[in-house]
Chains A and B, each alone.
Chain A
């Protein structure tokens, strides 16, 4: 298949995906929404719309972050979430509350708190993973194993801090600190959107280099890329994207893995522009669909993230074991 034909094919597929997402959005908003009772209808929409927007923002961040990250590491089964970026974010958020106190004015304003979180996450996250890359010489298996352990470490520290803050109200506090599907953080939608746009603008040159970065360090340097510098900036972008995703809908560990790899399979291209859009759209499809199933089939008892974990885990093992050369 030649280039032009492939390009056309991929554009068609993207369009098809977009239409499917649109249909899902409409369904999500309208199913069981009682349009015959305007008051109720309005109320239901006011609940569903923020959730929807949060999911869309999160999917864009996760899709972009995962693909960028995979290209940086030059590996298709590593995702930022697997490496614990979610837990680091939750940890930093809790740590900020821990240091400043629950009653601090900072945390009464969701946007202000988010800004503080982004700042700390941007610095701390980039430092940690940069160090990890350097120290392991980009050895993927070690990065993954250390990442998973880091993720459990930060989880433990976070829980411990919550216990220390309030030994009696442990569960309630945990729920209020960390966003999840049934507890999305609707207040920061605008901020998060602006954040993503700014990020895309600031990193526009580096994003253009992604196709070359994917060839690996040696090739990238050979082709004249200022490698270390570019990688650091991209990593910073990934960390912030993950922060946005975690802040809005909470940790969904395997979503990025699934959508990034499916996107690669469907589009069979190296062009990141197509891959990223595709991954984001598939993420939306999965989350919106999953949310509908969770709402209407399980009546909110089982959160979407549970399904994603099971499916994603199996998929991950499959990649790890039967796709030789994937790591």
Chain B
């Protein structure tokens, strides 16, 4: 019943938006220093207003952009690859961006944030494209194999990054720089994440195209969509979003993986319909995680990355078990694209499962 309401109307979007606004307001007033509205309005306490404008508001905006960006990036990748388990985390995007950053640190240490950003963009795009083309070329049949390949691909790139970092003796610097956290966000050093906004809008414009490309090369040619151009465009958008978040906030895994999946469970697979919800839910999710990160060991903070990592990986494991159990019958897994995913039905079923017809490799 609830699912029907959610799917049919804008009800869910509305609820999510309201929740997000409410939580954003709450979040502004959580922090080391207690700030309440009367003092703020009275205008007498300059210090508090400063914290508010220089610290809290940038932080909130950065959080929102991160949540929106990472989840939309994940959604695009999943649509394009037609695989629920692909995301910046499991598609080598994050590690590639980090490699780019380290390379710029090692070879162009004098250049500042700008150069780092450009390197991160370029490498994220290259890494993601390489991964996707690679996976398509060898025609990985098993849905679950794709993320596994991606994680390993990411591990290798991470190994190279580590090697370079050790060589250049920047490991210490990197471990702080890469750990995803909003603690160091201040006015003046975070504005790059605003880049997420136009990119998300671009993604929204091309949403239907992504859907079509996800249906395969022949399918898109039939509908007159240039497969390669759209594929590269889509992957680049998500790579750039991811890279800009990494440059400013640091590494934050799993959002791109689990947020779109949770939303899809209720809303179905059509990207136009889910994009806004995904973006809102992503922002909400990161906001919640940030509040947890700030309140556990007050006045210190746990890095956001850890909170998201813990919650995210638990949800991901639940998702995997869910898929394993329900296979074909899963409410929305695969949705109306099911035909496309049927490649791997000869999976290694365990003997006693055979008669149950549990397709574990849908």
By the criterion CB–CB under 8 Å, are A163 and B297 in contact?
Answer: yes
By the criterion CB–CB under 8 Å, are A156 and B309 in contact?
Answer: yes
Tell me if A's interface is mostly helix, strand, loop or mixed.
helix
Considering only residues 302-319 of chain B, those with a C-beta below 8 Å from chain A are: 302-303, 305-307, 309-310, 313-314, 316-317
By the criterion CB–CB under 8 Å, are A171 and B172 in contact?
Answer: yes
Name the one of B160, B307, B314, B360 contacting A310, with C-beta atoms under 8 angstroms: B160
- Stretch from A223-231, A262-270, A300-308 at the B interface: A300-308
By the criterion CB–CB under 8 Å, are A301 and B167 in contact?
Answer: yes
CB of B336 closer than 8 Å to a CB of A: no
CB of A191 closer than 8 Å to a CB of B: no
User: 26 A-B Cβ contacts within 8 A?
Assistant: A135-B324, A136-B324, A137-B349, A137-B352, A137-B360, A139-B347, A139-B360, A140-B348, A141-B142, A141-B144, A142-B144, A142-B324, A146-B317, A146-B320, A152-B309, A153-B310, A153-B313, A156-B306, A164-B297, A217-B351, A218-B351, A306-B163, A307-B163, A310-B160, A316-B152, A320-B149
Q: How many A-B residue pairs have CB under 8 A?
A: 121
Considering only residues 286-313 of chain A, those with a C-beta below 8 Å from chain B are: 298, 301-303, 306-307, 309-310, 313
CB of B145 closer than 8 Å to a CB of A: yes
Q: Given A150-B317, A301-B167, decide whether A313 and B159 contact each other with a Cβ distance below 8 A.
A: yes
By the criterion CB–CB under 8 Å, are B169 and A150 in contact?
Answer: no
By the criterion CB–CB under 8 Å, are B162 and A149 in contact?
Answer: no
| A56 CA to B18 CA, complexed, in Å | 60
By the criterion CB–CB under 8 Å, are B167 and A310 in contact?
Answer: no
CB of A31 closer than 8 Å to a CB of B: no
CB of A167 closer than 8 Å to a CB of B: yes
Q: How far is the CB of B149 from chain A (nearest CB, A)?
A: 6
CB of B238 closer than 8 Å to a CB of A: no
By the criterion CB–CB under 8 Å, are A306 and B159 in contact?
Answer: yes
CB of A145 closer than 8 Å to a CB of B: yes
| A65 CA to B50 CA, complexed, in Å | 58
List the interface of chain A (C-beta within 8 A of B).
135-142, 144-146, 148-150, 152-153, 155-157, 159-160, 163-164, 167, 171, 217-218, 253, 298, 301-303, 306-307, 309-310, 313-314, 316-317, 320-321, 327
Look across to chain B and name the residue whose beta carbon is closest to the beta carbon of A138: B350
Among A148, A306, A317, the one with the most B-chain Cβ atoms within 10 Å of its Cβ is: A306
Look across to chain B and name the residue whose beta carbon is closest to the beta carbon of A321: B138
List the interface of chain B (C-beta within 8 A of A).
85, 138, 140, 142, 144-145, 147-149, 151-153, 155-156, 158-160, 162-163, 166-167, 169, 172, 175, 253, 296-297, 300-303, 305-307, 309-310, 313-314, 316-317, 320-321, 324, 347-353, 360-361
| A316 CA to B148 CA, complexed, in Å | 10
| A136 CA to B361 CA, complexed, in Å | 12
| A137 CA to B350 CA, complexed, in Å | 6
- Which B residues are in CB contact (< 8 Å) with A139? 324, 347-348, 350, 360
- Which A residues are in CB contact (< 8 Å) with B175? 171
Look across to chain A and name the residue whose beta carbon is closest to the beta carbon of B352: A137
- Which A residues are in CB contact (< 8 Å) with B159? 306, 309-310, 313
| A156 CA to B252 CA, complexed, in Å | 12
Q: How far is the CB of B234 from chain A (nearest CB, A)?
A: 24
- Which A residues are in CB contact (< 8 Å) with B348? 139-140
| Given A141-B148, A149-B317; 19 other pairs, CB 8 A cutoff | A136-B324, A141-B145, A141-B361, A142-B320, A142-B324, A145-B85, A152-B313, A153-B313, A157-B310, A159-B303, A160-B306, A160-B307, A163-B303, A167-B300, A253-B155, A306-B159, A306-B162, A306-B163, A320-B152
By the criterion CB–CB under 8 Å, are B306 and A159 in contact?
Answer: yes
By the criterion CB–CB under 8 Å, are A142 and B151 in contact?
Answer: no
- Which B residues are in CB contact (< 8 Å) with A317? 149, 152-153, 156
| A321 CA to B297 CA, complexed, in Å | 45
By the criterion CB–CB under 8 Å, are A148 and B350 in contact?
Answer: no
Look across to chain A and name the residue whose beta carbon is closest to the beta carbon of B305: A156
| A139 CA to B316 CA, complexed, in Å | 17
| A137 CA to B324 CA, complexed, in Å | 10
| A136 CA to B314 CA, complexed, in Å | 16
By the criterion CB–CB under 8 Å, are A320 and B303 in contact?
Answer: no
Q: Given A152-B309, A306-B163, decide whether A145 and B156 contact each other with a Cβ distance below 8 A.
A: no
| A164 CA to B175 CA, complexed, in Å | 18
| A156 CA to B311 CA, complexed, in Å | 10
Q: How far is the CB of A271 from chain B (nearest CB, A)?
A: 25
- Which A residues are in CB contact (< 8 Å) with B152? 313, 316-317, 320
| A148 CA to B156 CA, complexed, in Å | 14
What are the 7 tightest A-B residue pairs by CB atom distance, in nearest-first order?
A156-B309, A137-B350, A313-B156, A153-B313, A167-B300, A310-B159, A309-B159
Q: Given A137-B353, A150-B313, A152-B253, decide whether A163 and B169 contact each other with a Cβ distance below 8 A.
A: no
| A154 CA to B233 CA, complexed, in Å | 36
By the criterion CB–CB under 8 Å, are B306 and A163 in contact?
Answer: yes
- Which B residues are in CB contact (< 8 Å) with A307? 163
- Which B residues are in CB contact (< 8 Å) with A171? 172, 175
Among B158, B159, B167, B169, the one with the most A-chain Cβ atoms within 10 Å of its Cβ is: B159
By the criterion CB–CB under 8 Å, are B310 and A302 in contact?
Answer: no
Among B169, B253, B301, B313, the one with the most A-chain Cβ atoms within 10 Å of its Cβ is: B313
| A305 CA to B140 CA, complexed, in Å | 29
By the criterion CB–CB under 8 Å, are A302 and B172 in contact?
Answer: no
- Which B residues are in CB contact (< 8 Å) with A306? 159, 162-163, 166
| A155 CA to B254 CA, complexed, in Å | 14
Name the one of A156, A167, A301, A321 contacting B166, with C-beta atoms under 8 angstroms: A301
Name the one of A135, A144, A148, A155 contacting B321, with C-beta atoms under 8 angstroms: A135
